[in-house]
């Protein structure tokens, strides 16, 4: 029998983790919308906002380097919290500089904020091990996609887009505080081990497939903050109606994640991720070709509904193969017991 005290500690730790994840991911999802709205208010168009939203997501390609930082650190909580603080400060600085400094300078500062992006996903999720926790973690993306853009839109209307972005920065700082209260994890990190795992990763076909799954999914969903307002305009609705499309996507993702948590699917996770990715692609094509706003709304919801199981399957595949690679590394090490 598992001691009650241990169960309670694990539950509290998971609750704090989910809170930190929702706060930082919600702040990031809202920030993309907030930057677009702020750019529109300053420049009168969405072009600059699209550049800023892209700058916020582009640095996600440095994910492997961020992973090495987490592996080297003795306490991943401090690394994560420092990344969240850096994100908040850089994002707030960019918002304050917009319209007061050249756009190139603002883009450079946003790029700095975006470098913390990988910590919001794989960085945080690396602390999880059980399938239930991973499934619940994917649900935080749905909550964040609903709450973040909605908060950004409402705050922009009632308090102004600059205030909206600054409040989202404060939310990121709150996530950093919560992250520092998470239970400590045992680490056997070291630079040589991290480099060894990275070499094995680059030579492993299964993990490469997982990485490509995330790349293709990101190419589709990463343009949502800019594409949703434009799509709303194309179907004779106001640009602000794009926020409802994102809300439908987030709600669908949350429902899909909860279904996976309630009844975990069986079968190879990488195969499940592939089927989910194909379905997401079809629904995205349907959204782009939708002749009416209501059909686009349904299509966005279906993309989210499949995105929840996709994230759970892709993360499960990544962790399974990562554990296998780590086992191979340990068995080949001259320092093994």
Tokens 């930190």 found at: 20
Residue 191 confidence (pLDDT) above 60: no
Share of the chain above pLDDT 90, in %: 24
Res 69: pLDDT: 63
Residue 236 confidence (pLDDT) above 70: yes
Q: Which is more confident, 16 or 70?
A: 16
- Kindly list the domain boundaries of the chain, sorted by start residue: 4-331
Give the DSSP per-residue string, 297-333: HHHHHHHHHHHHHHHHHHHHHHHHHHHHHHHHHHHT-
Is residue 11 very low, low, confident or very high in pLDDT (cuts 50, 70, 90)? Answer: low
Chain mean pLDDT for the chain: 79
List Cα–Cα distances, 218 to 21, 139, 182, 280, 310, in angstroms.
19, 17, 28, 11, 12
User: Tens digits of per-residue pLDDT, 246-282?
Assistant: 888 888 888 888 888 788 787 888 888 888 888 998 9
Q: Which CATH architecture has domain 4-331?
A: Up-down Bundle (1.20)
Residue 146 exposure: Cα atoms within 13 Å on the Cβ side: 14
Residue 4 confidence (pLDDT) above 50: no
Residue 189 confidence (pLDDT) above 70: no
Length, in residues, of the chain: 337
For the entire predicted model, the pTM comes to 0.72
Q: For the purposes of burial, counting CB atoms within 10 Å of the CB of 143, is it exposed (0-12), middle (13-18) or buried (19 or more)?
A: buried
């Amino acid at each position: 029998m598992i001691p009650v005290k241990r169960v309670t500690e694990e539950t509290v730790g998971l609750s704090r983790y989910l809170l930190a994840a929702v706060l930082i991911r919600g702040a990031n999802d809202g920030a993309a919308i907030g930057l677009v709205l702020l750019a529109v208010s300053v420049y009168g168009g969405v072009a600059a906002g699209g550049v800023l939203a892209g700058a916020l997501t582009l640095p996600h390609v440095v994910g492997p380097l961020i992973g090495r930082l987490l592996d080297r650190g003795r306490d991943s909580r401090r690394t994560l919290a420092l990344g969240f603080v850096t994100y908040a400060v850089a994002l707030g600085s960019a918002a304050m500089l917009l319209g007061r400094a050249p756009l190139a300078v603002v883009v450079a500062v946003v790029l700095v904020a975006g470098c913390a992006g990988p910590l919001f996903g794989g960085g945080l999720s690396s602390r999880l091990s059980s399938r239930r926790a991973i499934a619940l973690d994917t649900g935080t993306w749905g909550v964040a996609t609903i709450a973040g853009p909605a908060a950004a839109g409402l705050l922009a209307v009632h308090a102004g887009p600059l205030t909206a972005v600054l409040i989202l920065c404060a939310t990121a700082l709150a996530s950093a505080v919560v992250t520092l209260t998470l239970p400590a994890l045992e680490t056997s990190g070291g630079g040589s081990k991290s480099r060894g795992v990275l070499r094995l990763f680059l030579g492993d076909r299964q993990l490469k497939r997982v990485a490509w799954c995330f790349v293709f999914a990101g190419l589709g969903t990463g343009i949502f903050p800019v594409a949703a307002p434009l799509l709303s305009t194309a179907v004779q609705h106001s640009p602000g109606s794009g926020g409802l499309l994102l809300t439908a996507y987030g709600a669908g993702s949350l429902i899909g994640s909860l279904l996976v948590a309630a009844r975990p699917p069986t079968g190879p996770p990488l195969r499940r991720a592939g089927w989910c990715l194909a379905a997401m692609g079809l629904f995205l094509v349907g959204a782009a070709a939708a002749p009416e706003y209501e059909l686009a709304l349904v299509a966005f919801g279906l993309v989210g509904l499949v995105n929840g199981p996709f994230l759970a399957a892709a993360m499960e595949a990544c962790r399974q193969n990562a554990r296998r690679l780590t086992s191979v590394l340990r068995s080949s090490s001259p320092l093994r017991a």
